[in-house]
């Protein structure tokens, strides 16, 4: 009976995800450039009206996005546009950690038992055992490789990795990506508001995010060359 309930909850959850990402109005607001621009304008207006509650509402919004597999870049960039660089980075970080933990726990409760049969197969078992043994370094590695946020949360939940390793590795590994997206989106907004002449682009608050953004393309390349230090072999690299 317990297994049937888990399967039912999982199917309902998957159906809700498909609806949210493909058929609900949110799909237009999140994945269409015009819709996203409209949503950000309305969301920023709403945040300005609710005062001290704005950070809490935003964190709840971000967590919901993570749980329903909306790409983390969407709420992260919205945070940067609405709250500015440093406040947004703090809020994005807290929300991303909370959302990743909730997804991890949900997947472990709902799918670990069913996934274990598949993971016991030769190749998968080897990788699952490696994740259990070097969970911390593997998750840090995959976060720095910018593996899609929601899918990594779910995959970790059905693996053998301990919650402690997953939690601390996620806190470390997700920081660079969040910083790049948050600072860049805040810089773009700042430039749009204050731009008067070409030299405005050379301000430190504009140049530094751009440098971080460009450097972010090299992070996976650098990390991949040193993957063995993270306990990941070539055969186990998910990007191969």
- 13, part of any domain: yes
Has residue 61 been placed in a domain? yes
Assigned domain for 184 exists: no
Listed range (34-38, 40-44, 155-159) with the worst mean pLDDT:
34-38
Binning pLDDT at 50, 70 and 90, where does residue 186 land? confident
User: What 8-state DSSP symbol labels residue 121?
Assistant: S
Q: Residue 208 falls within a domain, yes or no?
A: no
How far apart (Å, rounded) are the C-alpha atoms in residues 228 and 38? 45
Q: Tell me how many domains the chain contains.
A: 1
Q: Is residue 24 part of a domain?
A: yes
Mean pLDDT value across residues 173-195: 79
Predicted TM-score (pTM) of the model is 0.78
Label residue 66 by pLDDT band (50, 70, 90).
very high
Question: Considering only CA atoms, which of 153, 170, 12, 199 is closest in space to residue 93?
Answer: 170
Domain that holds residue 8: 2-177+222-236
Our CA angle for 228, 231, 234, nearest 5°, is 50
Least confident of 111-115, 139-143, 145-149, 177-181: 111-115
Q: Looking at the domain assignment, is residue 191 inside a domain? A: no
The CB density around residue 130, as the number of other CB atoms within 10 Å, is 18
Asked, for residue 54, whether it belongs to a domain, the answer is yes
Distance (Å, whole) CA 101 – CA 2:
23
Fill in the DSSP letter of residue 202: G
pLDDT value for 237: 53
What pLDDT shows up at residue 99? 94
Confirm if 171 and 144 have CB atoms less than 8 A apart. Answer: no
**74: pLDDT strictly greater than 80:** yes
85 occurs within a structural domain: yes
Nearest CA among 172, 182, 187 for reference residue 75: 182
| pLDDT for position 70 | 86
């Amino acid at each position: 009976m317990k297994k049937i309930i888990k399967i039912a909850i999982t199917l309902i959850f998957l159906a809700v995800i498909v609806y949210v990402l493909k058929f609900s109005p949110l799909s237009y607001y999140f994945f269409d450039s015009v819709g996203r621009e409209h949503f950000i304008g309305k969301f920023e207006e709403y945040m300005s009206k609710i005062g001290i509650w704005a950070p809490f509402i935003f964190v709840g919004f971000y967590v919901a996005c993570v749980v329903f597999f909306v790409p983390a870049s969407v709420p992260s960039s919205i945070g940067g546009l609405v709250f500015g660089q440093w406040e947004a980075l703090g809020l994005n970080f807290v929300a991303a950690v909370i959302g990743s933990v909730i997804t991890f726990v949900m997947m472990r409760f709902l799918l670990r038992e069913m996934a274990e049969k598949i993971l016991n197969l030769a190749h998968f078992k080897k990788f699952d055992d490696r994740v259990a043994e070097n969970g911390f370094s593997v998750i840090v590695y995959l976060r720095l490789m910018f593996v899609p946020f929601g899918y990594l949360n779910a995959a970790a939940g059905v693996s053998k990795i301990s919650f402690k390793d997953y939690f601390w590795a996620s806190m470390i590994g997700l920081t660079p990506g969040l910083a790049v997206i948050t600072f860049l989106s805040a810089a773009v907004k700042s430039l749009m508001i204050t731009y008067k002449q070409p030299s405005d682009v050379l301000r430190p608050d504009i140049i530094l995010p751009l440098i971080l953004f460009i450097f972010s393309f090299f992070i996976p390349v650098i990390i991949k060359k040193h993957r063995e230090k993270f306990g990941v072999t070539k055969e186990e690299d998910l990007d191969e």
